[in-house]
Structure 1
Amino acid sequence: MNKTNQAIGNYRWTICGLLFFATTVNYLDRQVLSLLAPSLSEEFGWSNSDYANITAVFQFIYAISMLFAGRIIDKLGTKWGYILAITVWSLGAIMHAYSIQVGLTFSNIMAWIGIGAVPVSIAGFMLSRAVLGFGESGNFPAAIKATAEYFPKKERSLATGIFNSGSNVGAILAPVTVPLIAVKWGWETAFILVGAIGFVWIFFWFAFYEKPERQTKLSKAELDYIHHDCEVASNETEQSKEEKVAWFKLLSYKQTWAFVFGKFMTDGIWWFFLFWLPKYLEAQFGMVKTDITLPLAVLYSMTMVGSIGGGWFPVHFINKGHSPYDGRMKAMLVIALFPLVVLLAHSMIKNK
């Protein structure tokens, strides 16, 4: 730690740590099902299509909820919005352990209103995934909002890269812990124990998080540093007026389409890793339960390195005198070209 940081303070990184652990829990909870999918499919007689339908419910509800999660976080505030999100998704994670009971009730309701019966196990897991997806949609909007509140612009990409690496840490911890818990105490216990971690996090979030202007643990020097490259009202009681942007107006911005295109091109691969890789390793290589721990840990360890590196790159360019916008654009270009260079090198080596 240099003298400048000592003088300013580093409480903002405590908040970043909380965001990191929340994101870790987020991915721990969503990974449990995929890791147990081979054994659950055998126990309940699921086909690949049945499992695909269960995972599709999570993705559909998650995608729809993301459209409104940010609004909810803005309405409730970062502190209580995050608490609501993690409470809902932790309850959804625990619900998986009671999917048979949940599915029986759901199937009876569907039959009563005249809709064809859905197999009990599938119905229960679908409903549990829906609750999980709704709650988990609040994680990234809340984490990004907290980052904007606690970090100056030049540090936000690094802070985002650090807390986002929690998704990879969660994906690493899940194959290390979940199969062992399931083998020793049963699959229901795996869902309950992992789901309960979120409630532990809420205690620390409630104790350590407050808006920077009301945070007694934050020094004035650090508060000034956080706001030094932002336009801040001189009077703390003056409320800044935020312009509300209509949904359709967002579609007129090229930045919106650039982000949508980037997500469209990458998310399919990421979701395959999250939900289908354990079943792929079982079908292709006969790997089950604890056999998949090492390959999954290696994969997500590398994505964690990429996440933190991707957050550091813009800071590197900004410190060299580039504007925050130019720094981010240059970093994204370098990162986008890196896989192409790797593929080209691999092709050249293979053809030798």
Structure 2
Amino acid sequence: MPSNNFRWRIVLLLFLVTTINYIDRNVLSFAMIDDAFRKEMLGFPIGYTLTQTDLNIFKIQYGWVDTTFKVAYALGFIMIGWLIDRLGTKRGLTVGIGVWSLAGVANAFIGSFRGLAATRFALGIGEAGNFPSSIKSIAEWFPKKERAFATGLFNAGTNVGIIFTAAVIPWMTIHYGWRMSFMTTGVLGFAVLVLWWMTYQRPETHPKVSPQELAYIQQDNQQEEIAGRVTWWRLLRYRQTWALIVGKFMADPIWWFYLTWLPDFFNSSESLEQTLDLQTIGLPFMVIYIISDGGSIFFGWLSSQFMKIGWTLNRARKTTMLICALCVVPIFFAAQTHNIYIATVLIAIAAAAHLGWSANIYTFASDLFPKSAVAMVTGIGGFSGAVGGAILAAMAGPIRVQFGYLPLFLIAGSTYLIALLIINLLVPKMKPVEM
């Protein structure tokens, strides 16, 4: 029987895809604090005792591997965004899931930093397909007033993926080794690939969507076709595109920094009186990402709620993003406190605010552009975010080794306010482009 709420099942599907995406992505962040993995990458025998010099070399090399992933992620956004707008959401994301799942399994068979860089490069290419596909799906399945909330819901899968990784991967690595961790999580991608292919269709062709729900979805009467060919260069003419670029370029690197370096922060920070290993590190990560999951959903809901009570799109989105930006500011205290519990709470609030920011910045593409250009616009934003992430990744290792975590947390605390100021200068009043 046709449903009047089937669109929320699509959000659940996107949530599951995003969860698996982040599980595959974050296994490495926990493997990096496993001595067996470190020795394998550095070419030392299992009985060798690592020195502080060895660990510093490892962290710098790890930073370059992380840079490789982000460069690939940026390139993937160029290709996947274009591919999705031409093949369609269903086929485009199918390609992405297939590529990243193969790369995830391949991580289990490498034995050097060179091999790790190759598999992470392939992983970055494939994983770039997730967000352009998901944002385009939200544009296809939801009216504007529900998009930020729907985006916040599926975006919460990022944290569920990290929570799962924090809860399971350290245990699995201790008992079965780091190779099995990569193998198991990589296989999960193929399971969600089958589910995606069997479930997803556009709402106008889906048999479980009622005429009433279809009318509700299409209430904005947004322009479906664009006169002329859509290209990067054409989209870059618009200030709205540059607002999205700035929002992603400046904020995404901070999220990448959390994902990549927080295990090392809790494992080896000089400021903390208590440090954690593979057996104890899971709990603070579960706390951080459960709280930040709430932030993703809450700030997405808040923006949508502002619009439902009559606020303009411009006021609703920017006010919510300002609140998010202010919540991140105190994070620099995390690099100064000796108390691991205070550090955990500060990081959790900042991570929650980031996901709230992300839920709103992603809606820029569907708020301001026709549906047929959403994936490409999202790809441009994702590319800029990955470029910013690659730049910070290249800097993070040397900064961490020479100066500790304070400079990195200072960057994190100030970036969002600067980004919002630039966005407001570029687009004082948010309104859809006329293409």
Are 1:23 and 2:34 an aligned pair? no
CA distance in 1, matches of 2:120, 2:106: 9
Find 2:304's aligned residue among 300, 315, 323. Answer: 315
Distance 1:51 1:203, change over 3 A: same
Give the C-alpha shift of residue 257 in structure 1: 3.1
Distance 1:179 1:299, change over 3 A: same
Amino acid at match of 1:72: L
Give the C-alpha shift of residue 159 in structure 1: 0.5
Q: TM-score normalised to the size of structure 2?
A: 0.67
CA distance in 1, matches of 2:265, 2:291: 19
* Equivalent residues in 2 for 1:139-288, closer than 5 Å: 139-231=130-222, 240-284=225-269, 285-288=274-277
CA distance in 1, matches of 2:183, 2:293: 26
Say which SS state the counterpart of residue 51 (structure 1) adopts: helix
Give the C-alpha shift of residue 226 in structure 1: 0.4
Say which SS state the counterpart of residue 289 (structure 1) adopts: coil
Find 1:331's aligned residue among 302, 320, 327. Answer: 320
Determine if contact 1:97/1:188 at 8 Å carries over to the other structure: yes
Give the C-alpha shift of residue 281 in structure 1: 1.9
Say which SS state the counterpart of residue 276 (structure 1) adopts: helix
Amino acid at match of 1:270: W
Give the C-alpha shift of residue 242 in structure 1: 5.0
Give the C-alpha shift of residue 264 in structure 1: 3.3
Give the C-alpha shift of residue 67 in structure 1: 2.2
Question: Over the residues paired in the alignment, what is the CA RMSD in angstroms?
Answer: 2.3
Question: How big is each residue's C-alpha offset from its partner over 1:223-259, in whole Å with a ceiling of 9 and x where there is no partner?
Answer: 11100122478xxxxxx44554443344443333333
Are 1:49 and 2:60 an aligned pair? yes
Are 1:65 and 2:76 an aligned pair? yes
Are 1:88 and 2:99 an aligned pair? yes
Distance 1:92 1:242, change over 3 A: farther
Question: How big is each residue's C-alpha offset from its partner over 1:112-149, in whole Å with a ceiling of 9 and x where there is no partner?
Answer: xxxxxxxxx11111110011000000000000011111
Determine if contact 2:15/2:157 at 8 Å carries over to the other structure: yes
Q: More deviation in 222-231 or 80-89? A: 222-231
Q: Structure 2: give runs of 5+ residues left out of the alignment.
A: 43-56, 334-435
CA distance in 2, matches of 1:62, 1:215: 31
Q: Structure 1: give runs of 5+ residues left out of the alignment.
A: 1-6, 101-120, 234-239, 345-352
* 2:88 alignment counterpart: 77
Q: TM-score normalised to the size of structure 1?
A: 0.82
CA distance in 2, matches of 1:142, 1:62: 14
CA distance in 1, matches of 2:168, 2:260: 17
Give the C-alpha shift of residue 207 in structure 1: 2.0
Amino acid at match of 1:32: V
Give the C-alpha shift of residue 325 in structure 1: 3.9
Identity of aligned residues (%): 39
Give the C-alpha shift of residue 341 in structure 1: 8.4
Amino acid at match of 2:134: A
CA distance in 1, matches of 2:313, 2:257: 33
Give the C-alpha shift of residue 328 in structure 1: 1.9
Determine if contact 1:57/1:130 at 8 Å carries over to the other structure: yes
* 1:289 alignment counterpart: 278
CA distance in 2, matches of 1:246, 1:205: 28
How many residue pairs get aligned? The number is: 313
Are 1:124 and 2:154 an aligned pair? no
Determine if contact 1:175/1:290 at 8 Å carries over to the other structure: no
* 1:237 alignment counterpart: none
Question: How big is each residue's C-alpha offset from its partner over 1:49-78, in whole Å with a ceiling of 9 and x where there is no partner?
Answer: 221121111011101221232111111111
Q: More deviation in 203-212 or 41-50? A: 41-50
* 2:8 alignment counterpart: 13
Determine if contact 2:3/2:208 at 8 Å carries over to the other structure: no
Question: How big is each residue's C-alpha offset from its partner over 1:237-289, in whole Å with a ceiling of 9 and x where there is no partner?
Answer: xxx44554443344443333333333333223211211111122222254221
Question: How big is each residue's C-alpha offset from its partner over 1:78-127, in whole Å with a ceiling of 9 and x where there is no partner?
Answer: 11111110110011111100113xxxxxxxxxxxxxxxxxxxx1111111
CA distance in 1, matches of 2:14, 2:99: 17
CA distance in 2, matches of 1:334, 1:44: 42
Amino acid at match of 2:254: I
* 2:125 alignment counterpart: 134
* 2:338 alignment counterpart: none
Say which SS state the counterpart of residue 263 (structure 1) adopts: helix
Determine if contact 1:85/1:136 at 8 Å carries over to the other structure: yes
* 1:298 alignment counterpart: 287
Distance 1:242 1:142, change over 3 A: farther
Determine if contact 2:18/2:158 at 8 Å carries over to the other structure: yes
Give the C-alpha shift of residue 36 in structure 1: 0.6
Distance 1:43 1:342, change over 3 A: closer
Amino acid at match of 2:232: W
CA distance in 2, matches of 1:342, 1:132: 30
Say which SS state the counterpart of residue 257 (structure 1) adopts: helix
Amino acid at match of 1:51: Y
Give the C-alpha shift of residue 327 in structure 1: 2.4
CA distance in 1, matches of 2:221, 2:332: 41
